[in-house]
Chain A
Amino acid sequence: MVTKSRGASRLAAGLIAVMALTGCGAGGTAGSGGSGDGASPLRVWFPGNLAEEVSWVNEKLVPAFEAEHKVDVQVEFVDWGNLATRLSTAFAGGTAPDVFGHGNAAAAGYAANNRAIALDDYLAKMPASDVKDLTFLDQGKVDGKQVIMPLRGFGHLLAYRTDLFQEAGLDPAAPPATWQDLRAAADKLVVRDGGKITRSGVIFPADDPTSMSQAFGSFLFQAGGDFADESGTITWNSDAGQRALAFLAEFYNGPQAVSTGLGEATSGAGAQHPLVTGRAAMAVIDEATFKTIHEQAPDVAAKIKLAPPLKDTTAASFGGAGNGLFISADSSRKDQAWKFVEFLLRPANAKAYVQAVGGIPARASLATDPELAAQPYIKPYMDAAAQFRGNPNVATWTQQREALAKEIEAVLRGKTPAGQALDRAAAEAEALAKN
Chain B
Amino acid sequence: MVTKTRPPGTSPRPHPVTPRRPGRSPLRSAQRRAGWILVLPAVLALALVTIVPIGYGFYLSLTSYNPVERGGPTFHGLNGYLAVLRSGEFWHAIWITVQYASGTLILAVPGALALALLVNGRFPGVALFRAVLYLPRVVPLVAVSMIWLWLYSHDGLFNYLLDLVGLPPVGFLTDEDTALLSLIAMRAWKALGGSMIIFLAGLQAVPASLLEAASVDGCGRWRTLRHVILPLLVPITTYVVVVDLIYLAQSFSEIYVLTSGGPLSSTTVLNMLIYNEAFEHYRLGNASAMAFLLFCLIFGLAYLSIRTMARGGRR
Contact = CB atoms under 8 A, between A and B. Distances in A.
A83 B310 CA distance: 46
B279 A208 contact: no
A398 B280 contact: yes
Interface residues of B, number: 45
B302 interface: yes
Interface stretch (B65-73, B94-102, B123-131, B222-230): B65-73
Contacts of B246: 16, 19-20, 23
Contacts of A5: 310
B155 interface: yes
A346 B13 CA distance: 98
B7 to A, nearest CB: 46
B110 interface: no
Contact of A9 (B67, B250, B260, B307): B307
A9 B298 contact: no
Contacts of A261: 154, 174
B231 interface: no
Given A20-B250, A21-B50, A110-B68, 15 more contacts: A13-B303, A16-B299, A16-B303, A20-B295, A24-B294, A25-B54, A26-B53, A85-B279, A89-B67, A92-B67, A109-B68, A277-B155, A399-B281, A406-B265, A409-B262
B299 A88 contact: no
20 contacts: A8-B310, A9-B307, A16-B242, A16-B298, A20-B250, A21-B295, A25-B53, A25-B54, A87-B68, A88-B68, A88-B279, A91-B67, A113-B70, A115-B68, A263-B262, A264-B174, A398-B280, A406-B264, A406-B265, A409-B262
Contacts of B298: 16, 20, 23
B171 A263 contact: yes
Contacts of B173: 263
B134 interface: no
Contacts of A22: 50, 54
A270 interface: no
Given A22-B50, A24-B54, A113 B295 contact: no
Contacts of A109: 68
Nearest to A88: B67
Interface in A24-60: 24-27
A255 B292 CA distance: 47
A12 interface: yes
A78 to B, nearest CB: 13
A141 interface: no
Interface centre among B66, B68, B242, B281 (most CB of A within 10 A): B68
Nearest to B300: A16
8 closest A-B pairs by beta carbon, nearest first, are: A263-B174, A92-B67, A25-B54, A20-B298, A23-B250, A85-B279, A25-B53, A88-B67
Contacts of A208: 260, 262
B73 to A, nearest CB: 10
B299 A114 contact: no
Contacts of A23: 246-247, 250, 298
Contacts of B249: 20
Nearest to A5: B310
B303 A25 contact: no
A17 B301 CA distance: 12
A27 B279 CA distance: 13
A263 B243 CA distance: 33
Interface of A: prevailing SS: helix
Given A85-B279, A209-B262, A196 B168 contact: yes
B291 A24 contact: yes
A159 B57 CA distance: 49
A13 B310 CA distance: 13
A323 B174 CA distance: 28
Contacts of B57: 24-25
A279 B154 contact: yes
A272 interface: yes
A24 B50 CA distance: 10
A246 B192 CA distance: 46
A402 B265 CA distance: 12
B306 interface: yes
B176 A413 contact: yes
B67 A84 contact: no
B310 A25 contact: no
B299 A20 contact: yes
Contacts of A117: none
B167 to A, nearest CB: 11
Interface string B285-301: 00000011011001100
A272 B282 CA distance: 35
B306 A12 contact: yes
A22 B66 CA distance: 23
Interface string B53-77: 1100100000000111110000000
Nearest to A13: B303
A92 B66 CA distance: 9
Interface string A67-92: 00000000000000000110111011
Contacts of A182: none
A263 B154 CA distance: 11
Contacts of A24: 54, 57, 250, 291-292, 294-295
A257 interface: no
Contacts of A303: none
Interface in B251-286: 260, 262-265, 275, 279-282
Contacts of A13: 299, 303, 306
A262 interface: yes
A409 B263 CA distance: 8
A339 interface: no
A132 interface: no
Interface in A247-291: 261-265, 272, 277, 279
A84 B262 contact: no
